[in-house]
Amino acid sequence: MPLALIRLQSAFSKKGIKSLIINTVHDSVVIDVYPGEEDIVSKLAHRAMSDVTSTFESYYDVKWDVPFGVDLEMGYNWLEMENIYLT
């Protein structure tokens, strides 16, 4: 998780994203998404999370053989969360 958060914050900074990483809850990341940045933030978050295995392997020279999946949900609050499917 920490490597993915570092990658995500770096991507936000490079792209000038106004959205903020707020918190982590177990194995989830809570992001306060600035209006209009929903598409780019979901793509950047998915990429940062799904590519973390390659970052881990390059940093530590260890092969990562554990299957890794990323699910995205977005909503105004916890009760209104809906799955996000990227194409």
The mean pLDDT of 24-50, rounded to a whole number, is 93
Whether residue 34 is predicted with pLDDT greater than 90 in this model: the reply is yes
The three-point CA angle 77-10-18 to 5° equals 45
Helix (H) or strand (E) holding 29: strand 28-32
* Segment 41-77, tens digit of pLDDT: 999 999 998 888 887 888 888 887 777 788 999 999 9
- pLDDT for the residue 17: 97
The mean pLDDT of 9-15, rounded to a whole number, is 96
Question: What would the two tokens of residue 72 be?
Answer: 């995205």
